[in-house]
Structure 1
């Protein structure tokens, strides 16, 4: 496999937005609308969110984001790998980069919300390998049978 390049992305070429629109369509298969917490296009451009794109030969293969919840707490958002590139370690490299940024921002904690459906099992496994543990809802989230919350101290 060619080298994966992970860079901050300003969303201007539309490739991340398209990947996340595909993600949102898939989420609708597993969760009711009020239990889907994926960012919509307007929310993606919020100043509190930094996006990274993982590219191979210039082609977007994965993305992820870090949202500042407070000066001490960040949230991982919008982790998605193109289906053609699953199980190649790209998401792990992207998560490493996002966690490096969280540490450089001096966050004390990083959290995330993901789904409870079996389709989310591989993602949960990745997060657990990076030290994330189950936690309760954080930020503006509320208990939801379709949401699983994970967090880790930095």
Structure 2
């Protein structure tokens, strides 16, 4: 299935629908206090760039964002692929776009927080396949059994 990936505003109905699906997926996986969600309004801030994957009909089927915290640190946020199209490497393409933008902006490291457990196994595989390594908490995320943290150093060039 061919998809296109582009930077778009999150303030669109079909992106809001993806966020709703993502939030519904996450809801049963961990307590609310350990779910660090961004709203579409927060994703529209100037420090965040949202990539949207669209299928050949133009339907939004995935998303992922880069939030820049400093001149050195970027964070992957709101990664999601619609369950109906999983397994088609859309998540990999979105993550590649995020990593590419982080490199263009000369960030030194890209980090992310994600959930744990069976419901997050596919996400963990995606991140490790893409060169991310597990690490401890960063920024103000609490250390808990509900969170897994990953990082990708960007100053060494693209992974082999």
**TM-score, shorter chain, exceeding 0.5:** yes
For residues 47-58 of structure 1, the aligned pairs below 5 Å read: 47-57=46-56, 58=58
What's the counterpart of residue 75 of structure 2?
A: 75
CA–CA separation in structure 1 for the residues paired with 2:139 and 2:46: 17
For residues 58-97 of structure 1, the aligned pairs below 5 Å read: 58-97=58-97
What's the counterpart of residue 44 of structure 1?
A: 43
What's the counterpart of residue 104 of structure 1?
A: 104
Q: CA shift at 1:11, angstroms?
A: 2.1
- Of residues 36-45 and 20-29 in structure 1, the stretch that sits farther from structure 2 once superposed is 36-45
How many equivalent pairs are there? Answer: 153
Q: CA shift at 1:40, angstroms?
A: 2.2
Q: CA shift at 1:14, angstroms?
A: 1.9
Q: CA shift at 1:37, angstroms?
A: 0.8
Deviations 1:27-55 (A, max 9, x none): 11011110001212332222211101001
What's the counterpart of residue 26 of structure 1?
A: 25
- Whether the 8 Å CA contact 1:114–1:147 is kept in 2: the answer is yes
- Whether the 8 Å CA contact 2:11–2:41 is kept in 1: the answer is no
What's the counterpart of residue 157 of structure 2?
A: none
What's the counterpart of residue 134 of structure 1?
A: 134
Can you give the 5+ residue segments of structure 1 that lack an aligned partner in the other structure? none
What's the counterpart of residue 153 of structure 1?
A: 153
Can you give the 5+ residue segments of structure 2 that lack an aligned partner in the other structure? 155-160
Structure 1 or 2: more strand by fraction: 1
- Whether the 8 Å CA contact 1:69–1:139 is kept in 2: the answer is no
Q: RMSD value over aligned CA atoms?
A: 1.1
CA–CA separation in structure 2 for the residues paired with 1:39 and 1:12: 13
CA–CA separation in structure 2 for the residues paired with 1:41 and 1:64: 12
